A = this chain, B = another copy of it.
Amino acid sequence: MKVGYLGPKGTFSEEAALRYFSNSENETIMYSTIFDVLEAVDEGEVDRGIVPIENAIEGTITMTTDGLINHDVWIEGEAVLPVRLHLLAVEGANLEDIKEIWSIPPALAQCRIFTKKMKAATKHFSSTSGAAEALSTSGRLDAGAVASELAAEIFGLEIAKRDIHDNNCNSTRFLILSKAPNGNIHETDKSMLLITPTEDRPGLLAIILNVFSSLDINLSWIESRPTKKKLGTYRFFIEAALGVHDSNLKKAVTILEAYGHEVRVLGSYKTRKL
């Protein structure tokens, strides 16, 4: 099976892909953006895709929500990966000499207490592993990169300081995508809906949420995204704690549609810890 994931090498997305699709018969294919992964699934270039949807610290990864709106794909799985960030350095570097820290803005934001204490300047890269690779190439002893242990291994860097994240329970949630539903949907226990209201009116989200609570459906995640048509108008991603086969979930969809909202079922899945 061909599996598309977000590169470059050494990112948490690669780690999630390798762990989830650990079967040796799977061929993992690296893409340079989340959109490219979604497109590859949509166009049948790969059989499965894996993309990050939410990080415990940073919140929703909006490239993924927005990509789901524009692609015809099905969410068939969910996986949660613990995230540990380290300060990587070139061999022989001393922690106290590091005056510049390289990484992506969210990773730097997650290590704010540490970087502040280090009194180090920060420099932005496109990925944590891209920062690690640049550091390795530069050979600089006065700079460090915030990245994963996998990145340290790949780019031959040392871990100058382990677990530098402010918060100890960081993790990232990934979605596993296919073109269409596979396997036994009756074994799933979560589903994701995209609700696009046809009119903007006071109390809109309250009305939508009441449909779920009136049917005793617990919601595990709600995210509003701009319609991109007018500032202040939104669509809603809602994750319900029921698979799409459940009769109550079907009722909720019917009621929401009767209210005039556009409802798209994006997938039905179970969660898995990595």
Contacts and interface: CB of A to CB of B under 8 A. Distances in A.
Interface of A: 35, 54-59, 62-63, 66, 80, 105, 109, 112, 123-126, 167, 169, 171, 173, 202-203, 205-207, 209-210, 212-213, 216, 218-226, 228-232
A50 to B, nearest CB: 17
A231 B56 contact: yes
Contacts of A56: 226, 228, 230-231
Contacts of A169: 229-231
Contact of A206 (B80, B171, B206, B232): B206
B167 A228 contact: yes
A226 to B, nearest CB: 5
A206 B203 contact: no
Contacts of A206: 206, 209-210, 212-213
Contacts of A232: 220-221
Contacts of A66: 109
Given A169-B229, A169-B231, 16 more contacts: A35-B112, A54-B231, A57-B226, A58-B62, A59-B225, A63-B105, A169-B230, A171-B231, A202-B219, A203-B209, A203-B212, A205-B205, A205-B209, A205-B222, A206-B209, A223-B224
Contacts of A171: 231
Chain A contact residues: helix, strand, loop or mixed: mixed
A105 B80 CA distance: 25
Contacts of A220: 232
A218 B231 contact: no
A229 B256 CA distance: 33
Nearest to A123: B126
Contact of A173 (B112, B173, B228, B231): B231
A248 to B, nearest CB: 13
A129 to B, nearest CB: 14
Contacts of A229: 167, 169
Given A54-B231, A169-B229, A63 B212 contact: no
A114 to B, nearest CB: 14
A105 B56 CA distance: 21
A249 to B, nearest CB: 15
Contacts of A222: 205, 224
A30 to B, nearest CB: 15
A226 B54 CA distance: 9
Contacts of A63: 105, 109
Nearest to A236: B222
Contact of A57 (B54, B125, B228): B228
